[in-house]
Structure 1
Amino acid sequence: MPTPDEYLRTVPSGILCDFRDKVFSQDFIEENSSLFLTSNWAILLISKLESFIKEKGSAGDPFIITLSPPLSPLVQPRRVDPDAQRRIVVHATQSDPPIAIKQETDTDIGISGDTFNIGRNSSPVVKQEDASINILVAHRTSTGVRTHVTVDNGRENIEILDSDDNVARDEFAGDDVSDGGDASTLVASDWDMEMEDLTFDAESLYLDNDIEDLALDSDELLHNGARVPSRTVWIDPGLTSEVCDQTTSITCEVTVDRTEYLSEIPSYWPVPRIKTAYVMDLRDPKFDFCDAKGNLLAADALIKRKDQDSSKGPTGHGDSTPKLTIFTGQPIECYRSHLRCSGFTCYEAIDPSLVPTECFELGPASLETLIAAQIKSRITEASSANHFTLIFFFIIHDKVCDGVDSKGQPCTGTPILKTTSFTPFIGCSAWSPQWRSHRLLKIPSNVDNELLTQLFDGQGLPTAMQTCTRIVPAHIGSRMKLCTYPHQSDGQRSKMAHIDCPASRTIFVPVDPALRMVCIIPNIESPHNHPLLPATKTAHEVSRLYHECVKAHGVVGATVKSVENASTMKILMNGKTPSIFNPALHLTRKKQTMIHKDKLQQFPSGLGLSGVFDVCQKDVNKPLTEQYIHVIETTEAGGILVFTFVPFLLSLIHDTVSFQVDTTFKHTVGDLKEIEFTIWFAPVLRAVTIARVYSDRSTRKQYQAVFDGIQQLTLQHTGKPFCFKRLSEGGNLLTMGVDLEAAQVLGAGDSFLLTNQPAYSGIHTNDPEEIIQYFICACATHVSCGICDFQGLLTKDDYKRIKAVSHIKSEEALVEFEAWIQSLNIEKITNWWAHKKMHCWMLPTIIQSQSKIHHHNWTITDTSTNMNESQHKWSNGETRTQLALAEAIITARRVDERVASEILDALKTGVLQTSRNDILIRMGRSVTRAIKAGEKAWEAEEAKAAKEITNKKKKKGRQSVKNSAESSSSGRVPSAKSKAREAAFPYPPAVIWNQSAQLWSDDAAKAITPQLCADTSTPSNCFLAETFNPVTANVTAGAVEPNLPFPIDFHQPEALLPVASSLRVTLEMQTLYDSLTFEESIDNFLANFGPYDGTGI
């Protein structure tokens, strides 16, 4: 018993069509035409199909029998004499004799490339004939149906044999097949016959496959127009073709000498030297590509898209529709499109060696020559000073001046070269003392000023290249008007010219869109006039694969870099990068365009506020706990606010005592920036962003609307108010951390003033600036940053004092500090203090002694907003930066929903993300950071002090040597030998102790390394580096030297006598390397350090 699939292969397609039309409505068939392209739909209806065949046969209703084996690629259909009379004999059962069906009238038998049909009609007379007929040919089709072809009195008869009829193998060697025919491939379309008393037994349709196919040798195949592998060279890997060297009539006007069948769509098309028709069958599903609306693209559109030589011409829909038999053997109505190559764009003086006069075959040599020439040009450009100068000259003349006069009219001036006493620059010819807002451009370092001066003076640069290697395809070259390379010595831009190409071709496409076949006939008399150009066009299959990579990565937030770094990219592209997978994907711009297209498909209204509205509309249908975009509103001042949060995270505000607010500017592009609300959630030991608000402006009214909205939404989603413990009964919040943005602070004051309950708080005020002082803490880091600019204006001690402004302990100390600020008489510092005093709320948010926040509450509040700043960085790392508004909100939503899930899971399981975030460890890390910062600051001060002393010594040394040489009677100067000693040991000898003077010398061992000598026999001027490090040692007045664990007191030299005796510093070290006398060194020391005061430095 055959399987359903084997059974279906024996059922003629005509029977299947009748069965399909009976089971399904015509509308259903038309709407689901793709379902009936194969016979798989009938597998589930086998039993009904068998019943249909029996019923149909029993009723005597003749069938349209269609055998549908694919035409062998090596056997072409035989042309049949239309005057021949034929008859067909069909075996119904084993016992019944064959029934000969005689065709009395002349019939034009149609031949199909892949089907064999027995048609039926009512007009001709069909009568039974004797079965004893001479057999000329017996042949078995690929589906197992065997036939005999006989001739009776000049009439040809085709007999379809029963499966049990045995035919000798030698009977398959008839001349009928050798002539190029195959009886199984004949199509009797439009036959006028009537089949009387023709019945089919269902079992008789199971045909055996015992007889092998007929085999022909290669000579017979060539003689009969068979396909053989083509010798055409194709550039595309994996593309093969077969050729049939037989004259074929395409239309009544067009005939070709050979037909070539292609397996794929090529990127480059040759121009053959003999008349050739290129045929492609694009019915494979891999060629099914749709446009943006989901409509299947026409076959010729696929070819045009992949062809690297752009073409222009009509689609042929408005032209006549010839009928071609080259596709299936039957006349098929086709559109005819005449296309012409669009040519290329290049510099008017293109290098002639790069442009061939005729280009027929697809030899890669021309492309390789072009690439090599362009590479050589780029190397030349990078090593030419003229090139950089000319390019800069082009740029400044292409850009217009941004100046606008008082009437709003733009500047019409031209760039000019101006020279100051220091360096030349580019200015504007329309500049005047009354109108100064013109261009001012510094000349880059890689631009030669002298060459630039020559160009402005009208002189040329003789080394400019006169020819060009840049050839641009027509699909992008039409937008190029000027060449980017400087060719003209006078500094003028070179124009690009469009060159037409004479190559043309005709494309035939069936009118029926289901027949996805194409026939292309190039004009052999008009080859291309340009070389092969780099493959910069992306074919549909490449675009589709890249779009799949983008979707696998995730469309929202996708960038070229993120998509290419995704693991899914390597999987879909077989481990290759996009640029290696296809040359066109080298172009970043193309990949950006495809990603943007995917984003627009997901956000039809765009990625801005309109796209956010669409997402918000989808959220409305979700439960309140699953919504993320809650409010999109406009403020009274015309601003826009978008409130986003996960309701569970917002509810955490009731389990904390403080929150921080700050605006981050990196997450989004455009006017709407993100305001982030952050808390420290102690139950899971992590910082959490509980809400994100997007605002397009930073005004006091806008911030008031932000805080008002947060309060309303918190009450709506949690049932509890968002309020401060100091102001409202039932409040839990103690403080709010800010970075001292005035509009934000005042907006918070306006909002939370309304939550004040005087009967509970005891605060009777309607002033927002006063209410602020009860809950706002300014970030000490931001305050300190504003003071850093004063470092160069103050002494070291004064700078330290002003940085400690937040530690003022009393009102008296504040008054004293203000008086000291005024005494400095430095305008910049005076203005800074005036700004702090102008806002009555500012100093109370900075200085704890001036704040109205309870001392305990101030103490447990972070002195900085580092937590909020770190959340900015963490969030941006999770979502990426510079995103469109819709992308920013959706990526932030993913992060917030994931955080909410993690917190819920941690609260349920008791397993925290990290256990090293408790107070002990965090405070320990903070102390460690403070210690390290102090050490670095101290090392920096020491290095700075050492550098200053070294610079002073060098300056004095040069002056002393000069004076010594001038005053010396001999004019002697330090010898080369002494200079060599100084170079080998850069720390010159100096007296650190003088027995007679009972004082330390100038540098007090800062510049020497004395040896600890055990006796007086130690050579003088000997040094041991390990004894004393002169760079790191702190041996200034009163300091503790590492080798001397006690302070050095200059007023009690007797205490140092044991030290002096142990050091045994000889008197030969009394003179400094800079020729200072001992007395001069003492005076220099006292002038620099003064007497020791006992406190140390």
Structure 2
Amino acid sequence: MLSNTQELILASSHDLLAAYILYLDVPECLDLEMPLDNPLKWVDEETFGGFLNLVWNQEQAAGPNVPILPPARPATPNMSNTSHPIIDLCSPAIPDASDNHAFAAASFAQAIDISSDESDDDSAVKGKGKKVDDKPGYINAKIYVTLKEDVEEVIHLNRVPQRWPVPTKSTAYVIDIDLDGRKPTKGGIAMKPDAFIKSEDPDSWGGGTNGSDSDPRNVLILDNLPCRRSQHNCQGADICEYFDSDLIQNYERTSNDDLSTVRNIFHHHLTANERDAATILGQTASFFRITRAKSCPCSKDALIVLKIRANGPDLNGKRMHIGCSRDKGPSAVAHYHTLIPKEIDENILSELWHDEVVSGDEWRDYTEPCATLLHPRHGRQKKCKHIHFHEGRLVIGDLVNRRCPASRVMYTPIDPTFKKCVVIFRGKHNHPPFPNEKVTFDALEDLRKCVDLFGECGATGGKMDANHNLSDNEASSTIAALGQPLNVKHVSLRSNRKIQTEVRKLKQNNSPVGVQWEGVVHSYQQELGLPASERYIRHLSMDGARKLLVTANADLARLVHQVKFICCDYTFKRLRSDLNEWEVTLMNERTHERVTISRIYCNQATTEAFKRVWEEFFAAIENATGQKLLMLPFHGEGKLRAIICDAEPAQAKGLGLVLARLNDPQISGINETDPDILLTYIFKVCVQHYDRGLLKLAAGGRSLVDYLKTFRSLEHPGDFQAFAKFCHESPLVAVRDWYNNKTMYPWYLPALNRNLSRMTAEAWMSTPDSTNLVESAHPAANQATGTGLGLLDAIKSARKYDFEVAASIAAAEQSMILRNTLNDTASRLSRRVGRAATRANKDEARREIINRIEETNKALEESTQISRAEVEKRKEIQEKQKGLRTLYKSIPSSQPIVPRSSQRSVRPHLQIPVPHAQNRTPIPQPTYPAPHPPSFWPSAYPFTDFHHHAYTVAANSSEDVVPNVPEFVQGSSRGIGGNGGNGGDAAGAGVNPYTPPNYGHGYHYN
């Protein structure tokens, strides 16, 4: 079967073929090798196509009825020419010419109409083209992009659009990337024009082919330049299987800027979000879907099931929980398990779990069609997130692809120096355009500006989102750089997750091996070639599982030779890694500012690890400054007199081991070899940490805590002995354990009290007794460098910060202007005195309040004693009343006698009938000691009778009452309290110990 080009060659006249031979400029001796009757034998298809293109361009420029000479064959395509050749077959046929250079009109009358609706692979010759009218010599208007692809219009663009215009007719867009001006890269490599165009398009294109450089196509409108042809199909949109088809019924995209349809769909989506969260049914169904999709790590065959709790309801009152079907009790294998939240209905959950019809009619609200329409590149989501019910049962909608008939063809020059591309769209999209969710080149460029503004190490997703999470200064800086907040200028960056992803990519491009330990190793290896004064990472080692890293700025490290003390402490907020950061800080008295001279990172906190930390710190100082760190007690020279830390035993013992190795008795005069003893010559413990530790003993009272705090000021041996005796003999176990813990370390108590320390009085008095200096350095570093950083980011940001501090100190000495003139020794002392006075005033106010509370407690206790006396008095009165009742019962009478008082009748409900005297025989009652009321009984109830059972009514001192006597049946065991007489039982035996026994009356009836 002949190709399109071969059909065109066969349809050409002899005159046209002769002109082609002249175009080739071959020797006459070879004419016999080019028979005009058999052109397929010698005509090259691609060359002949270029020849026709040039001829038709010359014809268009010359106009009708003008003879056309055979054009000269160019050596190379001229891409500098701003004109773009367009094939126009609408011109009249060229008349015959007598010379060999003219063409016969009939050669154009036989032109072939080649359709471009299909790709190169399945294109077919449609036959001879139909004429526009009856006039001979005219054919259909077409602009040939290649010999097999034609369009009706060519539009030139000098910028890659994000949203392409929707053409009304077949159109080829020619884009000049050089005129665009943007230089897109991916992984540091310049992107090809077609890849850049695809990255900017918000639609999803896939399938088809990316083309091949080995199978080029000459593009006529690019001066016959060989190009790679790629063809892709639109991937459409993913919708829920319960999608409301009316939302996009018969939809055909006419504009990429019209977002009204997708906005309507989005509003339906928001309504569904609100409905899902509005009801218990919706929340329960969401919880069911989440837990049902889980799997247990114990086995692939294990099922996630709903179980009854063996230990009864949990704190939320839930009787069931979600667990693994193979979980039968305690085992070494981990099983999936989760509790049911309080807002979940267990009954509904059980119905959903067993695929039953849900009770009630609330499920009918979830039977409406869905509005989920997603970009095909939405990730791994395969199910619709909205809640759907069908006939009372929960159904989960699958996401299905709605195919789109639109396609796109691109021609990209194989020569990378030509930054042009031809884009042809075929067909109409059957789905609305998506929101601008794809992060474009311009958005990434502005994001890079923000990253440069904040610094790579300080850049985070939250900081880049200037419209929400930044401080005023940071937000204003972003607006100053971009003219508006980043996520306002580029809506594709409204998603914080996308910002985090792009920031992470930028960091990975700059740190290809990562931002944790491997990245630090790479950075350290790069620094090894620098002079010692320019290096920042001074030591890096990995000994087994222990990782150790020491950093120091050389200019800052020199300051340690001029100070009397250094403070050391952990900081945790700045770093997000398996290593912890340990800072060494001092006070630079020359410029009155706090300076952190070294930051050490380690993943262990053992004695051996800290021994290495101290060794490498001292080595780093020597490496950075060219001078050993001299400690006055051990070297006999130098200014360093004290090292102040918290009470961490490992770091103290590690330092002691290093001092034992450094100590030379002939130089220091110290003949000790015990590391714990050597520590007492230079080591001090922070008193703030000591005081905070005493708060654990607050249960012993404020006076106990205050006394334990006085240890720091004890002077005489007797005071220390009394303190030790107090702690050893304390009735509180916590106090004894606390003191035993302190005495475990021989260096601890001497590091708190100057009378126990071996430091000189001058060294002790001239150095601080707390680590506040380094504690205050933590938030300053956090603010300057950021928090939650990876290890490499933390080191890079600290490097930048430390170099800025060093530059500030140098600038102060150069300019003779201090950054803070109110931070000298006198000013700091004045502020410290003021703070002490403020604390003293607050303490005095607190003590005054405590005294008043104690006075009120004493008054309350006294009132309680008075109340108890009144209760005792009423007990005596009640005993008298009891005796009178007994006497009353022993008098035979046919009518009850009601005692009266002050002419006032007893209330009717107290007049209870009493059995006739002649029908009963009184039983002697035993006498029991009256129990005392509970000591905690509230004084607000002074008239409560503690001696009578529930049937007895209490009275005040101005009333008499008729005894409330219940009727008894002879021989019955219904005696109330006591022994119940002969007919009672021992009901009082189980009485509450705080409830006085009720003595039964135990009557016998004859």
- TM band (smaller chain): 0.5 to 0.7
For the 8 Å contact 2:175–2:422, the answer to whether it is kept is no
For the 8 Å contact 2:159–2:180, the answer to whether it is kept is no
Instruction: Name stretches of at least 5 consecutive residues in structure 1 with no aligned partner.
Output: 1-70, 87-102, 118-149, 159-222, 224-244, 972-1074, 1076-1097
Where 1:424 maps in the other structure, the secondary structure is coil
In structure 1, the residue matched to 2:658 is 751
In structure 2, the residue matched to 1:316 is 211
Give the distance between the partners of 2:831 and 2:621, measured in 1 at CA: 34
In structure 1, the residue matched to 2:442 is 541
In structure 1, the residue matched to 2:836 is 930
In structure 1, the residue matched to 2:426 is 523
Flag the 1:417–1:667 CA change in 2: closer, same or farther, 3 A: farther
* 2:376 matches 1:474: yes
**Equivalent residue in structure 2 for 1:387, among 276, 279, 282:** 282
In structure 2, the residue matched to 1:305 is 199
The superposition leaves residues 1031-1056 of structure 1 with CA deviations (integer Å, 9 ceiling, x where unpaired) of xxxxxxxxxxxxxxxxxxxxxxxxxx
In structure 1, the residue matched to 2:35 is none
Displacement after TM superposition at 1:868 (Å) = 0.7
Where 2:605 maps in the other structure, the secondary structure is coil
* 2:261 matches 1:366: yes
Letter aligned with residue 630 of structure 1? R
In structure 2, the residue matched to 1:661 is 568
In structure 1, the residue matched to 2:47 is none
Aligned ranges 1:795-944 → 2 under 5 Å: 795-937=701-843, 939=845
For the 8 Å contact 2:660–2:678, the answer to whether it is kept is yes
For the 8 Å contact 2:552–2:624, the answer to whether it is kept is no
**Equivalent residue in structure 2 for 1:280, among 174, 177, 181:** 174
For the 8 Å contact 1:774–1:851, the answer to whether it is kept is yes
Give the distance between the partners of 2:512 and 2:539, measured in 1 at CA: 21
**Equivalent residue in structure 2 for 1:420, among 313, 318, 330:** 313
Flag the 1:516–1:682 CA change in 2: closer, same or farther, 3 A: closer
Q: Percent identity?
A: 23
Give the distance between the partners of 1:390 and 1:808, measured in 2 at CA: 68
**Equivalent residue in structure 2 for 1:640, among 533, 537, 547:** 547
Give the distance between the partners of 1:799 and 1:627, measured in 2 at CA: 49
* 2:504 matches 1:504: no
In structure 1, the residue matched to 2:557 is 650
* 2:236 matches 1:343: yes
Letter aligned with residue 777 of structure 2? Q
Letter aligned with residue 300 of structure 1? D
Letter aligned with residue 734 of structure 1? R
Flag the 1:824–1:157 CA change in 2: closer, same or farther, 3 A: same
For the 8 Å contact 2:553–2:624, the answer to whether it is kept is no
Give the distance between the partners of 1:391 and 1:659, measured in 2 at CA: 57
Displacement after TM superposition at 1:394 (Å) = 4.2
Flag the 1:502–1:397 CA change in 2: closer, same or farther, 3 A: closer
Give the distance between the partners of 2:245 and 2:96, measured in 1 at CA: 71
Give the distance between the partners of 1:896 and 1:84, measured in 2 at CA: 81
Length, aligned pairs only? 750
Displacement after TM superposition at 1:312 (Å) = 0.7
The superposition leaves residues 1012-1036 of structure 1 with CA deviations (integer Å, 9 ceiling, x where unpaired) of xxxxxxxxxxxxxxxxxxxxxxxxx
For the 8 Å contact 1:483–1:493, the answer to whether it is kept is no
* 2:509 matches 1:601: yes
Task: Tell me the TM-score normalised to structure 1 length.
Answer: 0.61
Displacement after TM superposition at 1:713 (Å) = 3.4
Where 1:684 maps in the other structure, the secondary structure is coil
For the 8 Å contact 2:571–2:582, the answer to whether it is kept is yes
For the 8 Å contact 2:294–2:304, the answer to whether it is kept is no
The superposition leaves residues 144-189 of structure 1 with CA deviations (integer Å, 9 ceiling, x where unpaired) of xxxxxx999989999xxxxxxxxxxxxxxxxxxxxxxxxxxxxxxx
Aligned ranges 1:717-732 → 2 under 5 Å: 717-732=624-639
In structure 2, the residue matched to 1:18 is none
Flag the 1:810–1:82 CA change in 2: closer, same or farther, 3 A: farther
Letter aligned with residue 541 of structure 1? D
* 2:446 matches 1:555: no
The superposition leaves residues 452-491 of structure 1 with CA deviations (integer Å, 9 ceiling, x where unpaired) of 57656866475453443332211224x1123333335899
* 2:40 matches 1:85: no
Where 2:826 maps in the other structure, the secondary structure is helix
For the 8 Å contact 1:354–1:531, the answer to whether it is kept is no
**Equivalent residue in structure 2 for 1:484, among 385, 391, 413:** 385
Give the distance between the partners of 2:331 and 2:732, measured in 1 at CA: 32
Range moving further from structure 2, 664-673 or 908-917: 908-917
Letter aligned with residue 471 of structure 1? L
Give the distance between the partners of 1:825 and 1:397, measured in 2 at CA: 56
Flag the 1:331–1:286 CA change in 2: closer, same or farther, 3 A: closer
Give the distance between the partners of 2:58 and 2:842, measured in 1 at CA: 90
* 2:608 matches 1:713: no
Flag the 1:582–1:421 CA change in 2: closer, same or farther, 3 A: closer
Flag the 1:892–1:113 CA change in 2: closer, same or farther, 3 A: closer
Displacement after TM superposition at 1:677 (Å) = 1.0
Give the distance between the partners of 1:476 and 1:935, measured in 2 at CA: 63
Give the distance between the partners of 1:423 and 1:591, measured in 2 at CA: 38
**Equivalent residue in structure 1 for 2:160, among 238, 261, 265:** 265
* 2:593 matches 1:686: yes
Letter aligned with residue 354 of structure 1? L
Displacement after TM superposition at 1:113 (Å) = 11
* 2:514 matches 1:620: no
**Equivalent residue in structure 1 for 2:678, among 771, 776, 794:** 771
Give the distance between the partners of 2:734 and 2:382, measured in 1 at CA: 54
Give the distance between the partners of 2:204 and 2:342, measured in 1 at CA: 42
Give the distance between the partners of 1:746 and 1:802, measured in 2 at CA: 25
Give the distance between the partners of 2:657 and 2:79, measured in 1 at CA: 85
Displacement after TM superposition at 1:746 (Å) = 0.6
C-alpha RMSD over aligned residues:
4.6
Give the distance between the partners of 2:744 and 2:753, measured in 1 at CA: 15
Flag the 1:77–1:308 CA change in 2: closer, same or farther, 3 A: farther
Displacement after TM superposition at 1:717 (Å) = 4.3
For the 8 Å contact 2:316–2:342, the answer to whether it is kept is no
Letter aligned with residue 628 of structure 1? Y
Displacement after TM superposition at 1:395 (Å) = 4.3
Give the distance between the partners of 1:713 and 1:391, measured in 2 at CA: 57
In structure 2, the residue matched to 1:580 is 488
Displacement after TM superposition at 1:673 (Å) = 2.4
Letter aligned with residue 305 of structure 1? S
Displacement after TM superposition at 1:784 (Å) = 1.7
* 2:538 matches 1:630: yes
Letter aligned with residue 269 of structure 2? Q
Give the distance between the partners of 1:759 and 1:860, measured in 2 at CA: 26
**Equivalent residue in structure 2 for 1:698, among 589, 605, 622:** 605
Where 1:279 maps in the other structure, the secondary structure is strand
Where 1:848 maps in the other structure, the secondary structure is coil
Letter aligned with residue 85 of structure 1? P
Give the distance between the partners of 1:107 and 1:626, measured in 2 at CA: 66
